[in-house]
């Protein structure tokens, strides 16, 4: 029986130290530019501005993320490629959160919508994501992105699963789809993976967001991952976008 690990970063895991990981990423990925992924949103703790989770801009005032990222006080930053951009970036506060009602702590339905206090100003660095209506086929290559741990030396502490800090750069990795079933998308890579802090971030296929980062199958972030399928939850997303538009 497998034990899976959620990828949100608890505030106690982030020290704010700058780590020299310019050539590595997510787990052994590469540095990414927000110009290539302008729909990416970074959820950061409100006081420390440390990495909590990722997300995707799906409306000028709505971000798609993972349900297990919810429950901590955070702000949303957009248009940033590294921590230095935070100094000049505008923070968006949360107005309303809607978690999938069927989310019970597993990867199933691990999805949420974050309504912002005001609309994001769109630019070449800030755009609306296109959401998939179909799941990617197995054996196809997808991209995953985030500010999560670029390495994970396992640490026997439930509040600090890695001895490493979050990345100070946005990173991406190429993964291969291994399974698509029951509203979940699994993938693996060549010594690459999502890690703590990448939760809620997008999986991209054919230019569309197909998944929301939920879990990895090992605490040191080796092995595979599980993303919640966007296509399988489109009806719920669309229905709640209409409700949020009235708020």
pLDDT digits (tens, 9 = 90+) for 217-229: 787 788 889 999 9
Looking at residue 164, its pLDDT comes to 64
Q: Report DSSP letters for 176-196, one per residue.
A: EEEEEETTEEEEE-SS----T
Looking at residue 116, its pLDDT comes to 98
Nearest-10 Cα torsion for 136, 211, 38, 46: -170
Assign residue 113 a region: left if phi > 0, alpha if psi is -120 to 50, beta otherwise?
beta
Residues 71 and 117 in one domain: yes
Looking at residue 152, its pLDDT comes to 74
Number of folded domains in the chain? 2
Looking at residue 22, its pLDDT comes to 28
Residue 16 belongs to a domain = no
Residues 115 and 237 in one domain: yes
**What's 89's domain CATH number?**
2.40.10.10
Question: What b/e sequence results for 37-67 when a residue is b if at least 16 CB atoms lie within 10 Å of its CB, and e otherwise?
Answer: bbbbbbbbbeeebbbbbbbbbbbebbbbbbb
Residues 100 and 89 in one domain: yes
> Is residue 243 within a helix (H) or strand (E), and if so which, with residue range?
helix 234-244
pLDDT digits (tens, 9 = 90+) for 194-210: 888 899 999 999 999 99
Q: Which residues of the chain fall below pLDDT 50?
A: 1-3, 10-25
Residues 89 and 157 in one domain: no
The pTM of the whole model exceeds 0.75: yes
Residue 1 belongs to a domain = no
Residue 29 belongs to a domain = no
Residues 239 and 122 in one domain: yes
Residue 13 belongs to a domain = no
> Is residue 241 within a helix (H) or strand (E), and if so which, with residue range?
helix 234-244
């Amino acid at each position: 029986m497998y034990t899976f690990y959620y990828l949100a970063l608890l505030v106690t895991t982030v020290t704010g130290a700058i780590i020299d990981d310019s050539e590595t990423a997510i787990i052994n990925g590469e540095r990414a530019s927000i110009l290539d992924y302008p729909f990416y949103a970074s959820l950061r703790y409100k006081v420390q501005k440390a990495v909590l989770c990722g997300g995707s801009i799906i409306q000028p005032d709505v971000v798609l993320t993972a349900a297990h990222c919810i429950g901590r006080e955070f702000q949303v930053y957009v248009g940033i490629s590294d921590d230095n951009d935070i100094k000049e970036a505008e923070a968006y506060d949360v107005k309303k959160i809607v978690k999938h009602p069927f989310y019970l702590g597993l990867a199933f339905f691990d999805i949420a919508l974050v309504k912002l206090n005001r609309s994001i100003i769109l630019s070449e660095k800030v755009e609306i994501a296109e959401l998939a209506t179909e799941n990617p086929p197995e054996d196809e290559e997808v991209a995953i992105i985030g500010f999560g741990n670029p390495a994970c030396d396992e640490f026997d502490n439930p509040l600090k699963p890695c001895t490493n800090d979050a990345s100070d750069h946005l990173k991406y990795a190429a993964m291969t789809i291994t399974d698509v079933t029951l509203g979940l998308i699994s993938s693996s890579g060549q010594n690459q993976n999502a890690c703590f802090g990448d939760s809620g971030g997008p999986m991209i296929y054919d230019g569309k967001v197909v998944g929301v980062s939920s879990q990895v199958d090992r605490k040191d972030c080796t092995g595979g991952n599980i993303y919640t399928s966007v296509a399988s939850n489109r009806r719920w997303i669309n229905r709640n976008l209409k409700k949020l538009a009235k708020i």
